[in-house]
Structure 1
Amino acid sequence: MSTQNALLTILVEKINNDTLVLPTLPAVALKVRKAADDPNVNLNAMGDVVGKDPSLSMRMIKIANSAYLGRTVKVTSIGQAVTRIGLRQIKNISTALAMEQLFVSKNDVVGNYMKREWGTTINVVAYSMAALQLYVNRTKKRELSLDTMTLAALVHNIGVLPILTEAERHEEVFANPTFLEVAIDKLSGRIGGSIMRAWGFDEEFTIVAENWRDLSVLPDNLSYVDFVRIGAALAGKMDSQKDAVLNLAIQRGALEEVSELTTDEFKEMCASAKQVFA
């Protein structure tokens, strides 16, 4: 059996036996999510939780001052930032900001793959966010929130992490990027869904992680997976399906026409979204 086939067999067996090691949510994200789920938490208490992590605090202030929230008056403290962002949004935003911690490896080869994957994921996030903003501006409908969209796009391909981690033990497979892509294409959705359930995320995130590649999966109503697919197509992750994705987006009302995606407004929105994670 070739190394490639052996790795694929190992991955499938571990998935079936529920023994595949899944990534854990960064500690700071766990603390913020736990606090946000407390019905008695208030803005001051949440500010204290976020404030214990200097890196998260600085990035939260940056978001509060960014075009992401469309505000012009600057805030200078984590208390002001939390007040501006709000308790509902801060749970998803803090998790999103912590996600980058997962895309690292002590192995140089694996680390390079994860770094590239993170960069591509940020592109998916930016395009998805911008597409949702265009939709909201055009329709005035707000059933989908930007903070949830951000996190959904960030975790859409989270299933790739255990595959790369398992492949660390077989470095020779990294000499064959095509094989890795096949493994990721076949298994990452299933693994991603398992991660979302293990993390206790809402079903909308599980749907995205499991099904964003499968265009036959169509929720009854317009959902985050529609916009993640747009983002993935524009980021070059669905080249063979790009036209189908964009046509489907028009049919489902996520887009009015493809030309929207080449406007200066869309480009500016993408740039603002990327700045959140710069």
Structure 2
Amino acid sequence: MSTLVETVKQDIIDALNNDQLVLPSLPEVALQVRETAEDPEATIADLTQIISRDGALSARIIRVVNSPLLRAPQEVRDLAMAVSRLGMNYTSNLAIGLAMEQMFQATTDMIDKRMRQLWRLTGQVSAMASVLARHSGIAKPDEAILAALIHRLGALPILTYAEERDDLIQDNITLGQVIDQLHGGLGGVILEKWDFPSNLCQVPREYRKFDREPDEGDLTDLITVANLIVLADSTSGWARKDWEEVTAFARLRLPADREDPIFAEFTEKAAEAQAAFL
């Protein structure tokens, strides 16, 4: 491993330990959505009012409701109808996840490009995770979508740090290695700071642990398998992973043979739906 990778890793770890690393804050609209959803006195109308203040988020939620993910019997034309159809929990999870897109922006072209690529990947994984959740029954689709949208969140403070270093901006390989090694732990720290449930905080830390042995299938399994399917034909290390070595397939009651027709079916369903997230 290069000296630069080790130096940058240590700098980031030291900054984190000394409370000097800039961690992203949960977007204001996401905070308001969560507070409203957790209020036992709140109504669908209250949640709709909060989301309606963000036009882009409102439009995205309507797109999801009209996407093949939900296959609404009739077209949903406004936010009130969309929220009513989804319900409080589904809407809040979806809104919180989609609101995070605003954090995936940078001031330099190279880092901005990486952030947009990262958001695109999380969107693809979200669509696949939703398909897997419906098939397996391991979790609700909205929980799977939220888990997917936050599973690589730890890359953001690293990319923000890189904007201040020309050597990293120009060295794509080194930056990629640092992100690969640190984003899981950082993601868990960010989600704990945001008071997310423990099962979601676990996802970024463990979704790349292919030999996990929990008692039953969970959100982390869904995100692991979703990444393997989405990245099966990519140039990343995920494409080279032997699925027989990944314990999550058994817990999701799926074959570990990547040539099995079921995965082509999942890919087709996810491809139809992923435009709602991109």
TM-score, normalised via structure 1 length: 0.89
1:230 alignment partner, one of 222, 225, 238 = 225
49-58 or 244-253, larger mean C-alpha shift: 244-253
Equivalences for residues 63-82 of structure 1 within 5 A = 63-82=64-83
Q: Check conservation: 1:3, 1:170, Cα contact below 8 A.
A: no
How big is the shift at 1:152? 0.3
- Counterpart contact for 1:230–1:245, Cα < 8 Å: no
Distance in 1, Cα, partners of 2:192 & 2:118: 22
Does residue 1:219 correspond to 2:214, yes or no? yes
194-203 or 48-57, which deviates more: 48-57
Q: Distance in 1 between the 2:115 and 2:244 partners?
A: 26
**Alpha-carbon distance in structure 2 between the residues aligned to 1:160 and 1:218:** 26
1:144 counterpart (130, 139, 144): 139
1:192 aligns with 2:190: no
In the alignment of these two chains, the number of paired residues is 271
Corresponding residue of 1:128: 129
Question: 1:163 is matched with which residue: 152, 158, 161?
Answer: 158
1-structure distance, mates of 2:102, 2:122: 14
The answer for unaligned runs of 5 or more in structure 2 is none
| C-alpha contact 1:107 1:168 (8 A) present in aligned 2 | yes
| Aligned mates of 1:190, 1:179 — CA distance in 2 | 18
Q: Deviations over 1:226-278 (max 9, x none)?
A: 11111222233542762247742332234145314443x32331123302113
Q: Mind listing any 5+ residue stretches in structure 1 that lack a counterpart?
A: 136-141
Equivalent residue in structure 2 for 1:176, among 149, 171, 194: 171
Q: Quick check: 2:64–2:277 contact (8 Å CA) kept in 1?
A: no
CA displacement at 1:144 relative to structure 2: 0.7
Aligned to 2:249: 250
Per-residue CA deviations over 1:135-190 (Å, capped at 9, x if unaligned) read: 2xxxxxx4510001001011111101101111111121233222222212221111
1:109 — aligned with what? 110
Q: 1:152 to 1:194 in 2, by over 3 A?
A: same
Contact 1:7–1:167, Cα closer than 8 Å, also in 2 = no
SS of aligned partner of 1:222: coil
Helix, strand or coil: the match of 2:163?
helix
Match of 1:104, SS state, is: coil
C-alpha RMSD of matched pairs (Å):
2.2
CA distance in 2, matches of 1:226, 1:31: 29
Identity %: 31
TM-score normalised by length of structure 2 = 0.89
Contact 2:228/2:239, CA 8 A, preserved across alignment: no
Check whether the contact 2:211–2:245 (CA below 8 A) recurs between aligned residues: no
Amino acid aligned to 1:70? R
CA distance in 1, matches of 2:153, 2:223: 13
Query: Contact between 2:151 and 2:187, CA under 8 Å: does it hold in 1?
Result: yes
The whole-number CA distance in structure 1 between the counterparts of 2:88 and 2:31 is 15
Whole-angstrom CA distance in 2 between matches of 1:128 and 1:261: 14
Superposition map of 1:31-70 within 5 A: 31-70=32-71
8 Å contact kept, 1:130–1:273? no
Per-residue Cα deviation, 1:29-54 (whole angstroms, up to 9, x for no partner) = 11111111111001111111111222
Contact 1:36-1:88 at 8 Å conserved across structures: yes
Provide the C-alpha distance between the structure 2 equivalents of 1:166 and 1:3, rounded to a whole number of angstroms: 14
